[in-house]
Structure 1
Amino acid sequence: MSTTHRKHAAKHISCAVITVSDTRTKETDKSGKKIIDQLTNHEHQVNLYEIIPDEGDQIRRTVEKSIYGENIEAVIVNGGTGISHRDVTIESIEPLFDKQLPGFGELFRHLSFQYDIGTASILSRAICGVCNHCIIFSIPGSTGAVTLAMEKIILPEVGHMVREIHKDLE
């Protein structure tokens, strides 16, 4: 990102963190906690944190609640991005997108291949898009994937992305 873009990037983003899991609780959700810790360490605000089961309707409703009913600029969904029958996060939120950012998933899989899980990165269906002037990230639920996505992509770019989404609305 150029110096000009960095200078104008949003500094304090209002976020929602949604963990999709049939087994995690707020006590055992290491990935959700990691996302929250990294956001707050970078002076972003977490206005919503929920753990929901791998149920398509509930995933969609929770994301919609975040982007339409809360003061949220960025949503980070973790879990449910694999290829098993119960992994329905992508199918649940992708139809909500006004715009999709395919580069996010492409870059995530490249970095995941390079730094984390090698060729198993082809199983990831991580995506990103914009809906209702809000950026939505959907990443795998493993702690390694969350760390990689947050440190290498989301934290460096989320302020720039929010600024770009809102610049024509001002």
Structure 2
Amino acid sequence: MSRIDETLDFMPVRIAVLTVSDTRRMDDDKSGQTLVDRIEGAGHMVVDRKIIPDERAQIAGQLREWCADTRVDVVISTGGTGLTGRDVTVEAHRDVYEKEIDAFGTIFTIVSMQKIGTSAVQSRATAGVARGTYLFALPGSPGACKDAWDEILAKQLDFRHRPCNFVEILPRLDEHLRRK
């Protein structure tokens, strides 16, 4: 069973938050703010936050920029994971991934099923790794952001979480790039 090992020190990670929307601004970005509040509330650092339109090349470009930034360990995007024609966040993420974290979408669907039933089938939440940076794409609703953070990311981004977590392998994510 998963648990927090209180004998270990908490290790904050540096997170960038990206809202993908054609209509949102900082003053009405509830999903982005939900993530910021939870990230900071958990003791992590929000190192950057942006809102960009539903444009695949722009989304991928911003993800690549943050993956190249040594200040960013994790990127969490919200929005653009649905099924409509403008929903291209998943495709943009996959343009950037070196490795996909396949089980993230599955676990997110399980969590969502408990909250919204079969409507969870419409989510295309995804996650992956690129250049030593974790990338998570969440749906654009505040509820989905809360569920993903509270039920998955808060635990996996806590070094003390046992039996394993994303933080403990963070230093090794880009080891293939350092090989000579």
TM-score norm. by structure 2 comes to 0.86
Q: Distance in 2 between matches of 1:3 and 1:148?
A: 19
Question: Contact (CA 8 Å) 1:36, 1:46: kept in 2 or not?
Answer: yes
Max Rg structure: 2
Q: Distance in 1 between matches of 2:78 and 2:110?
A: 18
Letter in 2 for 1:24: R
Q: Distance in 1 between matches of 2:78 and 2:166?
A: 19
Runs of 4+ in 1 over 2 A off after TM superposition: 1-4
Deviations 1:42-92 (A, max 9, x none): 110111100000001110111111111351000000000000000000111
* Superposed displacement of residue 140, structure 1: 0.1
Q: Distance in 2 between matches of 1:67 and 1:167?
A: 15
Aligned position for 2:132:
133
* Superposed displacement of residue 7, structure 1: 3.4
Q: Distance in 1 between matches of 2:39 and 2:26?
A: 17
Q: Distance in 2 between matches of 1:149 and 1:61?
A: 24
Q: Distance in 2 between matches of 1:3 and 1:162?
A: 13
Q: Distance in 1 between matches of 2:34 and 2:127?
A: 19
Question: How many equivalent pairs are there?
Answer: 167
Question: Contact (CA 8 Å) 1:63, 1:93: kept in 2 or not?
Answer: yes
Structure 1 residues not aligned, in runs of 5+: none
Question: Contact (CA 8 Å) 1:126, 1:140: kept in 2 or not?
Answer: yes
Letter in 2 for 1:131: A
Higher helix share: 1
Q: Distance in 2 between matches of 1:103 and 1:57?
A: 26
Letter in 1 for 2:113: F
The percent identity for this pair of structures is: 34
Q: CA RMSD in A?
A: 2.0
Q: Distance in 2 between matches of 1:62 and 1:93?
A: 10
TM-score norm. by structure 1 comes to 0.91
